[in-house]
């Protein structure tokens, strides 16, 4: 249900940006990526070419490639269901799935994915119907998505208790902030990927070395 305030905020902001109602709903159905949908609004309002919009969205959603890797073995066996689950694997769905017991993941990934998107589409529609009135009453509505991410990160940390991802994210953001402001997210994500890969190679070499020693 955390999708409700974030989805409503998106619907309201889309209405303020002048995006047609049908296009707002279609974005939540076909694109279904909270951060990318928020980022879409100023680009659509500015009339940017579709190629530029698609490139920016691809950069923002690059992290989703890594979400699928730890959940591949828990995807449904039916091809259509598997394809949908990969499409609908958002930050929130990933957070919920990785917090579940291993034996419950495969049977729950499809209903959770469907349920989450249904909430998001419903919330977007509610936001569109509310219109700009809420935006005038509550400024900076787009911060709702940041709040949702923060809550999910905290809940997942409470469940898993791993400090490494937090450390990598903080270091990557600090380093990226020294080099750019316009491409901060893209550079931070890229640095995160490089640091994760470097750690993976280091752990692999360490395990290989220990095996040889034995």
pLDDT digits (tens, 9 = 90+) for 6-43: 888 888 888 888 888 899 999 999 989 888 888 888 88
| HSE of 37, CA atoms in CB hemisphere, 13 A | 29
The answer to whether residues 55 and 118 belong to one domain is yes
Q: What is the pTM of this model?
A: 0.71
Instruction: Kindly state whether residues 47 and 146 are assigned to the same domain.
Output: yes
Answer yes or no: do 182 and 126 share one domain: no
Cα–Cα distance measured from residue 195 to residue 95, given in angstroms and rounded to the nearest whole number = 21
Query: Is the same domain home to 67 and 123?
Result: yes
Place of tokens 């990598």: 168
pLDDT tens string 136-161: 666 666 676 677 777 777 777 777 77
Structural domain boundaries enclosing 130: 3-160
CA angle, residues 180, 57, 32, in degrees to nearest 5: 135
Total domains in the chain come to 2
Residue ending a domain, choose from 144, 160, 176: 160
Whether 91 and 55 share a structural domain: yes
Same domain, 135 and 213: no
């Amino acid at each position: 249900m955390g999708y409700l305030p974030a989805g409503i905020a998106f619907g309201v902001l889309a209405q303020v940006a002048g995006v047609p109602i049908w296009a707002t709903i279609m974005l939540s159905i076909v694109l279904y990526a909270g951060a990318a949908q928020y980022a879409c609004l100023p680009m659509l309002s500015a009339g940017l070419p579709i190629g530029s919009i698609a490139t920016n969205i691809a950069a923002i959603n690059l992290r989703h490639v890594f979400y699928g890797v730890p959940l591949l073995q828990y995807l449904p066996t039916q091809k259509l269901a598997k394809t949908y689950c990969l499409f609908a694997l958002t930050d929130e769905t990933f957070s919920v799935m990785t917090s579940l017991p291993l034996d419950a993941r495969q049977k729950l990934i499809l209903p959770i994915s469907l349920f989450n998107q249904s909430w998001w589409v419903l919330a977007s529609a509610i936001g569109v119907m509310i219109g700009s009135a809420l935006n005038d009453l509550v400024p900076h509505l787009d911060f709702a998505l940041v709040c949702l991410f923060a809550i999910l990160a905290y809940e997942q940390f409470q469940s898993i208790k791993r400090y490494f991802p937090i450390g990598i994210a903080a270091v990557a953001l600090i380093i990226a902030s020294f080099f750019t402001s316009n491409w901060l997210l893209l550079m931070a994500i890229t640095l995160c990927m490089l640091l994760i890969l470097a750690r993976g190679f280091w752990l692999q070499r360490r395990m290989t070395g220990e095996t040889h020693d034995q």
